[in-house]
Every structure is written in structure tokens, then in C-alpha cells.
Chain A
Amino acid sequence: MSFLKGRTGLIILGIALLILPFMLGMAGTAWVRIMNFAVLYVLLALGLNIVVGYAGLLDLGYIAFFAVGAYVYALLASPHFGLHLPFWIILPIGAFVACIAGMVLGAPTLRLRGDYLAIVTLGFGEIVRIFMNNLSNPINITNGPKGVNLIDPFHIGPINFAKTDTIAGLDVSGPIKYYYFLLLVLIGVIIINRRLQDSRIGRAWVAIREDEMAAKAAGINTRNIKLLAFAMGASFGGISGGMFAAIQGFVSPESFILNESIMVLAMVVLGGMGNIWGVVAGAIVLAFVPEILRYTVEPAQMALFGHTLIEPEVLRMLIFGSALVLTMRFRPAGFWPETRHKRELVEAAEK
């Protein structure tokens, strides 16, 4: 990613990101939506990266925090309870509730590591989903499997994120507005991640990942610092979930299945655990591959054989599976592994 370092590179990247939705929009608004979901995945992956990449805690239930954020938004901004709070109030609430959920998960699992932690977090993810499915009786909180509908879109003053506005002759659709909002959040999250990584807390996370006993002896309160990793990761998940609910306009428990947790984990692992740019790249690739398959596999097979031999979904799983196995075999640290030392070597050479 050295081309990002120069100022010109940064300006080019900035312009590309700014006009990207209009380019994608030419291919169809669906592609802008796909891009938005890809950015949501990037946000999720960056949140999980704190837990798995930095602190080394294997969390297989991460999507639960996304679910919590999404439901907080859905319940506070929909006809379901007749509440219609503005998004800038709900998103922090969602982050806070998810943060609490993160600590609830973290507290009893602090002594566990590796496989055991993975199993417990997996169970936690499922419990949250099952709660969402069943909290419709006797008091209807989540509306059960039917989910919550007609969720309010974002409003900033007169701008409604569900409608198309024409600005200077340019049609700015709802998804394009969300795209810009997501881009801002993403930049914020990347900056926060970078700052955390090079901070007292970030070093403590990595120290725990590297050798928990030595970290303790060096004076780190490993219990609190691990809890902090869970809480931070969960907060990011909660914010992403809120935005997901608004963009989608609808939430139901089936959006938060185990497969989604695994998907986000695969993004972190494939990209390069602990390395922000690797995680971003991993998330974008994995979020786009299925969509590209969806739009190419079926038409291609129809043209070739006149009917569909392999479903895109099957092919997707096949590709994911092989990619994971091959990565673990040939690049166990991911495609863009943590460059902690490389970065410092460059700095040293510059001095």
C-alpha cells in the first residue's frame, strides 16, 4: 500500500472514492447498495480485528453485536413501538448497548482461550439470535421471526436518505447518500484503529495475544484489558448494526446467523490479522465476490448450457472454503500480514 503514502496517491484515492458511487450507479443502483454492504462488512471486520487480531481472542459470535445494534435502531426508529428518534441519538445508544453485551460475553469467558473461547462465543451468538426470534411473547419486543419493518431512514435536516435529491443537476440517490455517510464513518474507524494500535492499550492487547503470562508479570491487568477489547469490538459492531438497519429498512433474526460471524472472521483472517489495510482489503474482496458471482455465474451458465448447473451460493462456499484452506496452508498470517516491524524498519531507514 505504499502508493497511499504519497500525497498525490491520497488525492487520487480520495477522488476515486468520491466519484465511485456515481460510476457504480451507472451499472445500476444495486451496485451502490452492494458497495454499502461491503463497507458495513469492512466496519465489522475492523471491529472484530480488535478482538481477534490485536488481543488474539477467537470470537465466533461477533455478529451478535451487529444484531444488537440493528435491533436497537429498529426498535427506536420504527412504527413497532411508535418511536422515531433521530439516528445520531440511536447510533451511540446502539454502540453502548452492544458494548454492554460485549462485556456480558467477555466477563465469564476471560479465563478461556482458543477453542473453548470459540465455542462459548459461538453459543453466545446463537443465543442472541434465538432471543431475537422469541422475544415476541408474552410482550412483543422484537416481533419474532417476522422482524421489524418500516424502519426510519436517516434524516439530516431536510435531507432524507430514502429519497433521491437532485444537486447541481446530479441525481443523488438514497444509497449514494448512505455511501458517503459510511465512508465518513469508515475513515473515522480506521483512524481510531490506527491510534489504538500504537497506544498503551493497543500494545497491551498485542502483549496478551503474544504471551498472557508474561503480560501479567509485566503489570498488565489482563482481565480488564481483555474486557476492553470485547467492549471496543462490540461497540463497532453495534454502530455498524444501526446503520445496517437504517439502510435495509428491515431487520429480522435471519440476518444474524452463524455464517455471518464466520464470514467476518474469514475477512479478518484472509486479509491479515492485526493489519488494518489487510483487513479492509479482505473484507472488500469477500463482500464483493459473492455478488460478482451472483451476476456472472448464472448468466454465464445459461449462455453455455441453457440452464444452471451450479448455484452461485454453492460456488461461493466452494471458493470461500478453498481460499481459507489455501491461505492457512501458504500464507498463515494472511495476504497482507501485520506490518508492525516493516513499518518501523522503514522509519529507521529514513532517520
Chain B
Amino acid sequence: MTSALLEARGVGKRFGGVQALKDVSITIHQGEVYGLIGPNGAGKTTFFNVLTGLYPRDGGEVLFAGAPLNLASPHEVAKAGIARTFQNIRLFGNMTALENVMVGRHVRTHAGVFGAMLRLRSERAEEEAIRRRSEELLHYVGVADRANDLARHLSYGDQRRLEIARALATEPRLLALDEPAAGMNATETAALRVLIDGLRTDGLTVLLIEHDVKLVMGLCDRVAVLEYGEKIAEDVPAVVRADPKVIEAYIGTSAH
């Protein structure tokens, strides 16, 4: 039996007249790749933003590893073990690729102002460990050769991978990826798929928003479908793909 890592119960979010999320309940099991799909504007990104504490929610609660998640402070969410990437890449543009990943180590390290000023042995050791781990992660996602370039000078695909490295640096138990393949060519997408597969092998749980149907169906253990802020289906890919409601939702929107 797999155990639940994340349990969202009745999450709701409204923007003025738009009900972006309506009573959404989702359970993600330890070690699975969980897909979240749906037409444009269905509320997928909003779900991420509520889950990571960036937007206040209107209702519902989220349990993570059995304990309620403090959604009022995003850094607590990161500390609890949820890391994310952004649909519209948000890197620290004027920092190097390596520094971007090093920022991700912040939440797992401790040096304070006085430690930095005095540069005692323990601080130097920690700084060295931060650097080494960050270099490993750059290597892992395949942008090690750009380590000392400014993040804003990286290619689109490299930026997406760098964002994943920064997220991994926080040592998450759940990695939430918002359309990681968007803007990638076929080769890059194939490499991304290998990367995510590897993460699963390493025991990481992944929540994946993606429009690339082939990627989602090939990669995910289970898939949930959102439409107009409501979950309309949730099952293994083969069942979801055959679900008339899902077909209706997709054909319905593409007909507009």
C-alpha cells in the first residue's frame, strides 16, 4: 500500500468573479508522478500558488506528510518539503546559474550575519558544502557548463532545467513542476522525461502540470483533470484518456 504524501481537501480560490478553484481535493501518494492537466485557465497554476502559500486560499486545508501545512508562509512550505518551478520561469536573472541553485540551499543551511562577517570554520565549511551540492545539482540537470553565466543569459531550455535544480536544492519531498516542457524542442523534452523518471527512481514525488499529452500520459502514474476550477476526473492515464467528460472538456475548449 502506498501512503499519502499530500492531501488537499476542499481547496477553493476566487479572483473577483472568477472561481479559479472550487472544492478541489487531491491525494498524492509517496513516490508517484502525479499529473495535473486541464484546458487553459482551468486553475492548475492557481492550485500550485495556493499549495505553495503564494496566494491566500478561500477555503480548504492541505496535509503534508500527515501534518497540516502552514499555507500562510511560503518559506514554511518550502521547509516542510515542497519545491516548485514556475510556468513563466522566475529565476534570479542577475545571479549566476550556480548562485541561483545556491539560493535554494538557503532553507537547509544556517549561517547568519555574524557567521558571514566572522567567517569561522563552521561557516566556511557550510559555504563549501552549499557550493559543492549546488554544482552537483547543476551537473544533475545538465547545465554544469553554464554555472558561471548569468541566469538571464541562459537558453530557454537551460533556464527551465536551472529552475528544477534550484527547486531540488531545497531538498523537497514533493517537486511541483508547472509546464516544464513548455517551449522545449523534442530533444529537450526527451531529456526532461529522463530527468523526471530519474527523480522518481530516486524516490521523489512529483506533481506535474503539463500540456504535452504524450509526456503526461507516458510519465504519470495517475492524472487529475481540472476544468473551470473543478476536478472532473482522476485515475491512471489510460482511464482518464478514455473518460467522456475529459474528452468533452478538451474538445469543448478547442472548439471555441
List the interface of chain A (C-beta within 8 A of B): 192, 195-196, 198-204, 206-207, 210-211, 213-222, 228, 232, 338, 340-341, 344-345, 347-348
Contact = CB atoms under 8 A, between A and B. Distances in A.
A202 B106 CA distance: 11
B46 interface: no
B223 interface: no
A210 B75 CA distance: 17
Contacts of A211: 90-93
B150 A341 contact: yes
A20 to B, nearest CB: 27
B103 to A, nearest CB: 5
A109 B167 CA distance: 29
Given A218-B107, A228-B113, A341-B148, A213 B75 contact: no
Given A203-B103, A213-B90, A220-B107, A195 B117 contact: yes
B219 interface: no
Contact of B92 (A199, A210, A341, A345): A210
Contacts, number: 115
B26 interface: no
Given A195-B119, A218-B104, 8 more contacts: A192-B117, A199-B115, A201-B111, A203-B106, A216-B53, A216-B75, A218-B106, A221-B73
Nearest to B130: A200
A220 B96 contact: no
Nearest to B84: A217
Contacts of B123: 199
Contact of B111 (A199, A215, A219): A199
Nearest to A222: B75
B132 interface: no
A108 B76 CA distance: 21
Contacts of B164: none
Interface in B57-104: 73-75, 78-79, 83-84, 86, 90-96, 98-99, 102-104
Contacts of B104: 218-219
Nearest to A200: B111
18 contacts: A196-B117, A198-B127, A199-B116, A200-B105, A206-B95, A207-B103, A214-B92, A216-B74, A217-B52, A217-B74, A217-B90, A218-B83, A220-B75, A220-B107, A221-B73, A340-B94, A340-B95, A344-B98
A206 B103 CA distance: 9
A201 B115 CA distance: 10
A196 B113 CA distance: 7
A192 B126 CA distance: 18
Which size bracket describes the interface of B in this complex?
35 or more
A217 B54 contact: yes
A214 B108 CA distance: 17
Nearest to A232: B113
Q: 3 closest A-B pairs (Cβ-Cβ)?
A: A219-B107, A219-B78, A199-B116
B158 to A, nearest CB: 15
Interface string B168-185: 011000000000000000
Contacts of B96: 340-341, 344
Nearest to A191: B117
A348 B90 CA distance: 26
Contact of B148 (A196, A213, A218, A344): A344
A215 B78 CA distance: 11
B161 interface: no
B19 interface: no
B75 to A, nearest CB: 5
B116 A219 contact: no
A333 to B, nearest CB: 9
Contacts of B54: 213, 216-217
B94 A220 contact: no
A171 B171 CA distance: 62
Nearest to B170: A219
A221 B95 contact: no
B148 A203 contact: no
Contacts of B94: 206, 210, 338, 340
Contact of B95 (A210, A217, A347): A210
A214 B109 CA distance: 18
Nearest to A210: B92
B44 interface: no
Interface string B112-150: 110111010001001100100000000000000001111
A340 B153 CA distance: 14
Nearest to B171: A219
B222 interface: no
Contacts of B98: 344
A198 B91 CA distance: 18
A196 B75 contact: no
A345 B102 contact: no
B22 interface: no
